[in-house]
Amino acid sequence: MRLSESFSGALRTFAYFMASGTHDQLKGIDYLKLYGEEPSAIEQAFAIFANVIALDENGEVLNAKHAEKRAVDYIRSYCDHTFKVEQPYEDWELELH
């Protein structure tokens, strides 16, 4: 079984905006330095994205923006300790597989 084009597109889009430093929800946050200095923070963000994203029976993504927001909120809270994630993370969202 292969990943759907829908999932592949959602992952590619998320990865692009995370790697380019242009994610609109992270304006004003210097998160690109994490890639070289604290890659585990980036790893955790991608784990959250992968754990939260939901697909229907045909592999179509149902909640790409929600999965992105959960992942991006983690990076924002990691870089800005005054930022509080509105809905605390559940254990399953943070699991590294």
- CA distance linking residue 39 with residue 60, whole number of Å: 29
pTM above 0.85, yes or no: yes
pLDDT tens for 38-55 read 999 999 999 999 999 999
pLDDT tens for 58-78 read 999 999 999 999 999 999 999
97: Cβ–Cβ under 8 A, 6 or more apart, which residues? 47, 50, 51
Residue 1 pLDDT > 80: no
Confidence of residue 36 (pLDDT cuts 50, 70, 90): very high
